Amino acid sequence: MARSWERMVQKNKNQLNKQRKKQGKSSISSFSDLGSVVSGDTFKGRKIALPVVLVLLACLYGLLGVASSTVNKGEGINTPTMTWLIMGAYILLGVIIYFRRPYLLVGKDTLQTTRLNRVRNVSATSITNIKVAKGSVVIEQKGKGGNWVFTRLINRYDIQAMGVRLEEFAKANNIPFEK
């Protein structure tokens, strides 16, 4: 029932947006496929460490597969095809993680990022503190939500630009800001 409801809502929203476009009004964009739509400044990073580790693990697995196939020729436990498939899967996973860029979107009163392949939003009312250090930004939240940490070392964010924009965000929403 939920999927059909979502399809019906999406269809009606598309029809309404077409009508509003003909009338010269702005479109309604309350939800997208990724979650709620937030407009603002986006700071994109790049994951490098994990893809490199995955490719190195694929190479190590390949070397071990070749070495074990020469030692155990008659047993047929480890086939070269399976070794190549697993190596390819590790390399493909590394490439996917490399090209999926992490981001922080700073809106008027919300922050948005991806955590564990889900889009996460936090409103200004649920942020207790924002700390900007030399190589990292920490956004502390109230309640159960863990702290969001954005680092230059791991995800290659532009920390200085993020710090300037988050300072403006903190001033506009009366959030304590530490530098």
Q: Which of 150, 153, 176, 130 is nearest to 42 (CA)?
A: 150
Tokens standing for residue 118: 């889900």
3 state DSSP class of 70: helix
Phi, psi of 88 (to 5 degrees): -60, -40
Tokens standing for residue 52: 């490199």
Confirm or reject CATH 3.40.47.10 for domain 102-178, answering yes or no.
no
Tens-digit pLDDT profile for residues 133-147: 999 999 999 887 789
Return the pLDDT at 7. 80
**Per-domain residue ranges for the chain?**
49-99, 102-178
Rounded CA gap, 112 and 35, in Å? 10
Q: How confident is the model at residue 38 (pLDDT cuts 50, 70, 90)?
A: low
Per-state percent for the chain, helix, strand, coil, to nearest 5: 50, 25, 30
Rounded CA gap, 58 and 20, in Å? 52
Question: What's the whole-model pTM score?
Answer: 0.67
Tens-digit pLDDT profile for residues 44-55: 999 999 999 999
pLDDT at 170 over 90: yes
Least confident window among 70-79, 111-120, 162-171: 70-79
Q: How confident is the model at residue 97 (pLDDT cuts 50, 70, 90)?
A: very high
Return the pLDDT at 175. 93
pLDDT at 28 over 50: yes
On the 0-12 / 13-18 / 19+ scale of CB atoms within 10 A, 129 is middle
Rounded CA gap, 103 and 108, in Å? 16
Arithmetic mean of pLDDT, 14-38:
69
Return the pLDDT at 92. 97
Phi, psi of 85 (to 5 degrees): -65, -45
